[in-house]
Chains A and B, each alone.
Chain A
Amino acid sequence: MSTDLVPLAVLMFAVTYPSRAIGLLNPAIDRLPRRALEYLQLVGPAVLAALAAVNVMVATADGRSVFVAGLPWVSVLACLAIVAWRRNLFLGLAAAVVIAIAGRAAGLP
């Protein structure tokens, strides 16, 4: 069984860990001004929304990014609505998956 790519995994760890640790291990973060802390509180919603939106609205083909619309939009919107309404992520994800399965069975893209 090949282990040739294990050092690549170590390299990927080595370039990722500093990003993950820089805030947690840097004591200066405690002395940030209030405005900076307010900014950091908004990072989560912004990054997660960017991840979701890019994932469902952008596809890469032949090295180019293109805008796409389709069934995943409906799934994600349904999940959003259910989480906002019921505050239950599990239910939202279940609805998203059911919609995707049903839609594809019906031939939607």
Chain B
Amino acid sequence: MSPGTATPLDRQTIRAARRQLALDGLGIIVSAAGFGFVYGLTARTAGHFSPVEAMAMSLIAFGGAAQFAAIGYVASGLAWPAIGLLTFLLNARHVLYSAALAPWFRGRSVAERALAAHLLTDESFALAVAHFRRLGRFDPIGYWYPAIVTTLIPWNLATLAGVTLGDAIVEPSRFGIDVIFPAAMAGLAVGLIGGRREIVAALAGGAIGVVASLAISPTIGIIAGGVLGPLVGLLVPSTARGDVGPGEAALPNLEDVSP
């Protein structure tokens, strides 16, 4: 089969995968909007950020947890170099995401990969990798839809809403907004599980994360869970349906197939 000559069956497979991606993306839109709204609200009320400052964070830094942490750092008067160092540590997990995505982006242009890097988040990573695994290869929509439509846009619109309208909402937790982020992370992890290895890696990552958070700090805990959890997972023999690696399935050129 040559690239760009998709058979009807292949198109069906791709469309089914994209439908699943779109459906999962709806959940992420809700999550990004809820989380972004709380960020805007907190930036305004706790950090006294102006709308321009809050929006600059969401567009330029574009890192949910790091942005939340920055509110606390600014409010407590922490020096900017220290904020930079803590932000670097908190976002260090992206090294793992970036390395895990790289094989799927093999052959894509430098400009595309450079832009993709800025839009790399927990959500875009999880949705994209789950989609690529379903297909067994790269699909541009599989990255740009989660990165832009389900994350970047709702996150920024919700930040704007939170920072400008948020004073009216006194207790976001009454509306369940505080559980959206952890529930989304847990749900996204389930989407990446295809066998015992992933289950063990996830359980180990969670357990190590909590223990290290209690012993040292939540930032270190998350990184420790992300680094050590997969090592524990590798101790288990692979049994997964989801172990299709990049380029291991013969599917058509996905740019030629509309959703």
Say if the beta carbon of B173 comes within 8 Å of chain A. Answer: yes
Q: In chain B, residues 150-189, which have Cβ atoms closer than 8 Å to a Cβ of chain A?
A: 173-189
Are A50 and B208 within 8 A (Cβ)?
yes
Cα distance A58–B98 when bound, in Å? 27
Are B52 and A6 within 8 A (Cβ)?
yes
Cα distance A29–B117 when bound, in Å? 15
Report B-chain residues with C-beta under 8 Å of the C-beta of A29: 99, 102-103
Report A-chain residues with C-beta under 8 Å of the C-beta of B11: none
B5 to A: closest C-beta gap in Å: 26
Cα distance A39–B218 when bound, in Å? 23
> What 0/1 pattern do residues 63 to 92 of B give for CB contact below 8 A with A?
101110010001000001001110110011
What is the total number of residues of chain B having a CB less than 8 Å from a CB of chain A?
110
A83 to B: closest C-beta gap in Å: 4
Are A58 and B206 within 8 A (Cβ)?
no
Are A48 and B94 within 8 A (Cβ)?
no
Q: With CB as the reference atom, state the residue of chain B lying closest to A64.
A: B214
Report A-chain residues with C-beta under 8 Å of the C-beta of B125: 44
Cα distance A67–B128 when bound, in Å? 32
Are B180 and A93 within 8 A (Cβ)?
yes
Report B-chain residues with C-beta under 8 Å of the C-beta of A87: 20, 191
Cα distance A88–B125 when bound, in Å? 17
- A23-B176 contact given A3-B53, A6-B52, A44-B192, CB 8 Å threshold: no
Say if the beta carbon of B198 comes within 8 Å of chain A. Answer: yes
Among A8, A10, A41, A49, find the residue whose CB has the most chain B CB atoms closer than 10 A: A49
Are B99 and A40 within 8 A (Cβ)?
yes
Are A50 and B192 within 8 A (Cβ)?
no
Report A-chain residues with C-beta under 8 Å of the C-beta of B23: 88-90
- A9-B99 contact given A45-B193, A80-B190, A83-B190, CB 8 Å threshold: no
Are A20 and B120 within 8 A (Cβ)?
yes
Say if the beta carbon of B57 comes within 8 Å of chain A. Answer: yes
Cα distance A9–B208 when bound, in Å? 31
B190 to A: closest C-beta gap in Å: 4
What is the total number of residues of chain A having a CB less than 8 Å from a CB of chain B?
77
Q: In chain A, residues 14-43, which have Cβ atoms closer than 8 Å to a Cβ of chain B?
A: 14-17, 19-26, 29-30, 32, 35, 37-43
Report A-chain residues with C-beta under 8 Å of the C-beta of B105: 24
Are A41 and B243 within 8 A (Cβ)?
yes
Say if the beta carbon of B129 comes within 8 Å of chain A. Answer: yes
Name the one of A9, A17, A55 contacting B53, with C-beta atoms under 8 angstroms: A9
Say if the beta carbon of B95 comes within 8 Å of chain A. Answer: yes
- A54-B173 contact given A12-B84, A44-B189, CB 8 Å threshold: no
> What 0/1 pattern do residues 43 to 80 of A give for CB contact below 8 A with B?
11111111111111110100001110001100110011
12 example contacts (A-B, Cβ-Cβ < 8 A) are as follows: A5-B56, A9-B53, A20-B98, A20-B117, A23-B95, A24-B101, A43-B230, A45-B192, A52-B189, A72-B179, A90-B26, A97-B175
Q: Interface residues, chain B, CB within 8 Å of chain A?
A: 20, 23-24, 26-28, 30-31, 34, 49-53, 56-57, 59-63, 65-67, 70, 74, 80, 83-85, 87-88, 91-103, 105-106, 110, 113-114, 116-118, 120, 122, 125-126, 129, 173-193, 197-199, 201-210, 213-214, 217-218, 221-222, 224-226, 228-231, 233-234, 238, 243, 245
